[in-house]
Amino acid sequence: MNEAKAKFVKLCDKDSLKAIKKIMKEGRSPSVSVGRTILDGICKYVTADRDATYATKVDEVFASPEVFTSFVKNTDASSFEKGDIQESAQAVNMDAEGVKGQILK
C-alpha cells in the first residue's frame, strides 16, 4: 500500500494506539468483540499471516505509531487469495444478496 492509500493511518497516534490496547486489555467495552474481529483482520493483512491475531501480534504491529504506519504502508494484498479478501470485505459490508456482514451488523 503506498503513502497516498495509507493517509488514514496518520490518525493513529500514540494516544489512539494506547486507548485501543487499554480497551482490549480491560475487555469491558461492548465493542471488544467487534474490535477484536477488526484488529485480527488488520493483523492478518499487515503481517501477511493468515494465522495472525491481535493477541499474538499486538506487541509487534502496535508497538508505536511509526511501526503501525510502516506495517500498513507495506501491506501487500497479493499475499492473500481473492476469496480471503472478498470474505473480509463482506464482513465489513454486505454480500451480493444484501445480507449485512458480521462487522457491519
| Tens of pLDDT, residues 54-89 | 999 999 999 999 999 999 988 887 888 888 888 887
Q: What are the extents of the domains in the chain?
A: 4-80
Which 3 state secondary structure label does DSSP give 100? strand
3-state secondary structure string, 67-104?
HHHHHHHCCCHHHCCHHHHHHHHHHHCECCCCCECCCC
Specify the pTM.
0.80
| Tens of pLDDT, residues 21-40 | 999 999 888 889 889 989 99
End-to-end CA distance of the chain: 28
